[in-house]
Amino acid sequence: MSDRFLDDRRSGLEEAFFAQQNEELRRRIADAGAQSDRRAALAAASHIQDPAVLDRLLQLGLSAGTLSALTLVPLVLVAWADGDLSDLERNAVMEAAATEGIHQDHPSHALLEGWLRVKPGPQLVAAWKDYVRALAQPLDLEARRQLEVQVMDKARQVADAAGGFLGLTSRISVAEREMLSDLSAAFHPQA
C-alpha cells in the first residue's frame, strides 16, 4: 500500500510539475504574441520599421496609443535640463500637450505626467533620437527642416518659460541651450 501511495503521490507531483511548465510555456508564447502585436501596431502608427527602434520604444512603455507623447519629449527634456522642473516649465509643457490634444483622458497623459514627476533617464533621450532619425530619414531637406522648426520652437518656448532674472539675463539657461542643440542634432543624422 505504501508503494502504491508513493507512486500515486509521485505521479501527482509530476502532473503538477508538467502542468506548471505547460502553463509557463503558454504564458510565454502569449506574451511573445502580444509583444509582436504591440510592435506591429507601433510600426503602423509611427511608420518606423526598424525592430530595434520599435523595441526600444516599447521598453519605454510607448504604444500606438501613447506615440503622441514622443512629440513632447524635447519639451520635457528641456524643462529638466538644469536639473529642476519649475512650475512655469511644467505648465508650459502641459499647455503644449493640451494644444496637441493630449488631455487627462488621453493615453499619453499618464506617461507625460510620469516624465514631469521624475526626471527621465538617458534611455528616453536615446529613444527619442532614434525615433526622430527614423522619422526624418525619408524626408527631403525642406520637410526635415520644417519638422525640426516645429518641434524645436515648442521646446524653446518651454525653455523660455522660467528663464531670466528681472529681464536682465537670457531667459534660456546654458543647460537648456545645450539640450536644445543636442536635440536639434537628431534631425541631421548625416551631419
Which H or E element spans position 82?
none
Question: Residue 164 and residue 85: Cα distance in Å, rounded?
Answer: 15
116-168 pLDDT, tens digit per residue, is: 999 999 988 988 888 888 777 777 788 888 888 888 888 888 888 866 444 44
- Within 8 A by CB and 6+ apart from 90, the residues are 79, 116
- Within 8 A by CB and 6+ apart from 77, the residues are 120, 124, 125, 128, 155, 179, 183
What share of the chain has pLDDT > 70, as a percent? 72
**Domain boundaries, given as residue ranges, for the chain:** 1-46, 51-185
* pTM for this predicted structure: 0.67
